[in-house]
A and B are shown apart, each in its own frame.
Chain A
């Protein structure tokens, strides 16, 4: 069933999802929630609670061990493998450790999503240069990640995540390695993206950011998802929104 077509309007929909790594213990239990298009959510919880695992499920790096996940109205378990790549292109990810490719320049790192999508080389350079200017890195366009500061690497990672105009942006601890000023600037950047229609999920420990930027917040603890955020439906958490 196509959830978007049925008026649900959810970009992401989890139903009773469980997740384990290989044969290990389950790290997420009965997670059910949905994210409407254009929403902005925080995802909090202590280290090891399952935030990154939940993010991995959302950016299609891992299959759930049970339950079902729909992205953009499509049940990912039924999507042919060759079409998963196209779904991933609609998801922008800022990894916790940025995961920039060291031997490529800032420009080439940011260009990667366009290149894998088959964009013409002639169009890539101007587009990427424009975005790097937007994140304040116009003078570091040809620099390698190893020569950039943590904050600059982070902005390159964000530029790479948004260059292909994803429908949803998932940022895993994006402010973990930068000072508060840069973290706040980064949040404004993400809010700007949200204003132009991008659904945003930010996994963070940073309580001051959550206080300052008033967005719904999911909380993960011991593999259970809860919180007052819109669309949360956790069967094990009667306090969560249904």
Chain B
């Protein structure tokens, strides 16, 4: 078909032969980095939501006779504390589940001395003085500790922020690598086909006409590579979702992305291809701009 003629014979170029592979690999890595960043962001949010607005009261091991009485007294005192909306002593079986990743399923049969735990929910607006509350509870049950998870929350926030930043930085570096590769490939193509490009230029082709020749060629190759790279990356993420929970033994939240996050992830190869095509256009125009 006459309308499908490509004036610049780019398809046989050695440099562009590797373009789909390069773009595919980079999109694969960028997909994983982007997914890791989004997973860490949502995991951090989940952890923060789970922990903020909650207190854990820990009553040290005591004689079995006093134990129930102490727990009830502490719970009662907590219920009368302003800002507290929910108080629930955690049953031994539930504590055993929490300890299971470290001590195994037979934790209850070991008859280990375990502290009593009380799960407390407070209103978000409540500004409870933790030290004063601890002192009051210690009068009822000596040694009682109130944990508002502040240290854990701060460390968690710092950790997830650093990890997210690293993930997104890795993704940006990967995309910059893609741009650099494409600039090199395009410049090589321009050098190889300088005769044809000069003829097009001299018979009156606008720079955009020549650039489109390169962009169409790159669009075809990069799209194929990006599609394969994304599908491979998505496959790895799906495997992590299926097997990640089992491998982490419940220590980590579920390795899953929401529909919105999948949509963002699916936009990545499209954005990468657009970036690459845009880079080709700019590169060609910059090189041609040196001609009269």
Q: A62-B292, A82-B206, A99-B195 are in contact. Are A112 and B2 (CB under 8 A)?
A: no
* B249, CB-defined interface residue at 8 Å: no
Contact status B206-A85, CB under 8 Å: yes
Contact status A113-B203, CB under 8 Å: yes
* A89, CB-defined interface residue at 8 Å: yes
Contacts of B195 in A (CB 8 A): 99
Considering only residues 8-28 of chain B, those with a C-beta below 8 Å from chain A are 9
Closest-CB distance, B25 to chain A (whole angstroms)? 30
Contacts of A87 in B (CB 8 A): 204
Q: Which of A117-125, A174-182, A183-191 lies at the interface?
A: A117-125
* A201, CB-defined interface residue at 8 Å: no
Q: A99-B195, A99-B199, A101-B199 are in contact. Are A125 and B205 (CB under 8 A)?
A: no
Contact status A61-B202, CB under 8 Å: yes
Q: Which of A30-38, A41-49, A103-111, A222-230 lies at the interface?
A: A103-111
Label chain B's interface by main secondary structure. helix
In whole angstroms, what is the CA distance A115 to B3 when docked? 9
Contact status A89-B292, CB under 8 Å: no
In whole angstroms, what is the CA distance A161 to B153 when docked? 75
* B236, CB-defined interface residue at 8 Å: no
Contact status A85-B204, CB under 8 Å: yes
Contact status A89-B5, CB under 8 Å: no
Considering only residues 191-212 of chain B, those with a C-beta below 8 Å from chain A are 195-196, 198-207, 209
Q: A101-B196, A121-B2 are in contact. Are A113 and B204 (CB under 8 A)?
A: yes
Considering only residues 141-176 of chain B, those with a C-beta below 8 Å from chain A are none
The contact size tier of chain B is: 20 to 34
Closest-CB distance, B291 to chain A (whole angstroms)? 8
* B289, CB-defined interface residue at 8 Å: yes
In whole angstroms, what is the CA distance A84 to B203 when docked? 11
* A59, CB-defined interface residue at 8 Å: yes
Partner of A116, one of B198, B209, B292: B209
Contact status B203-A103, CB under 8 Å: no
Closest-CB distance, B21 to chain A (whole angstroms)? 24
Label chain A's interface by main secondary structure. helix
* B76, CB-defined interface residue at 8 Å: no
* A3, CB-defined interface residue at 8 Å: no
* B69, CB-defined interface residue at 8 Å: no
Partner of B204, one of A95, A103, A116, A121: A116
Closest-CB distance, A54 to chain B (whole angstroms)? 15
Residue of B198, B200, B204, B207 contacting most chain A CB atoms (<10 Å) = B204
* B92, CB-defined interface residue at 8 Å: no
Contacts of A81 in B (CB 8 A): 289
In whole angstroms, what is the CA distance A82 to B207 when docked? 8
Contacts of B196 in A (CB 8 A): 101
Contacts of A113 in B (CB 8 A): 203-204
Binding site for A on B (CB under 8 A): 2-3, 5, 7, 9, 195-196, 198-207, 209, 289, 292
The 4 closest A-B pairs by CB, nearest first: A89-B204, A116-B205, A88-B204, A121-B3
Binding site for B on A (CB under 8 A): 59-63, 81-82, 84-89, 91, 93, 95, 99, 101, 103-104, 107-108, 111-113, 115-117, 121, 124-125, 160, 164
User: 18 more A-B contacts (CB under 8 A) besides A84-B292, A85-B206, A88-B202?
Assistant: A61-B198, A63-B292, A85-B205, A85-B207, A88-B203, A89-B203, A93-B203, A99-B195, A99-B198, A101-B199, A108-B5, A108-B7, A112-B199, A115-B5, A116-B209, A124-B2, A125-B2, A164-B204
